[in-house]
Structure 1
Amino acid sequence: MIKKLINTAFIFLIVSCSDGKTDGTQMVEKAAENTESDFPIKRLRNTQDILDGIYTDYIKNNKDMQSLDSKIADIQNDKHQIMKIYNDVIVNS
């Protein structure tokens, strides 16, 4: 009984995973084509460059997003400095 249940669940898992499989890159590229941005998306090669370009284009006209982006950059810089200090302490102890 349990073996049949496991086999059925396994078959269902395989069928559900293979059905309607969409590549994440295609989704991002399709979304990028539908944006109202004047950013030259077609020249970019990978998905991360496309996302970075859309994000940069979006925040250039939004003061709240610029402020948030600045705060995030400051936090990341602080993190890098703290990690450097931490690594120095670990190496020297």
Structure 2
Amino acid sequence: MNTSTRCVNLSRSEIEYLKTAGFLGPVLLKCVQNARWRSDIAATIELSAMIAEEFREAFTEQLAKVGFDEAYELTAEGRLLEDLIDRFHKP
């Protein structure tokens, strides 16, 4: 693997969330659908730095829309999105 690609490990529930959440564009959704399953509960996606940044932008936009409750506390979905933002960041 060259330095411009990276692998991100995701759980089955994270993969399912990303497939069904409806906020990923076609290119990002295809990356998720092409995840390599390492076991019944874990998968890896390999992507370029540019695509990783596109994921982070999509997660950040979604976080702003649904990630906080009325008291501006993180929701469960917000915590998930923040974790994904961190994991898709440069290693």
* TM norm. shorter chain > 0.5: no
Higher helix share: 1
Please, what TM-score do these two structures have when normalized by structure 1?
0.27
Please, what TM-score do these two structures have when normalized by structure 2?
0.28
Structure with greater contact order relative to length (CA < 8 Å, sep ≥ 6): 2
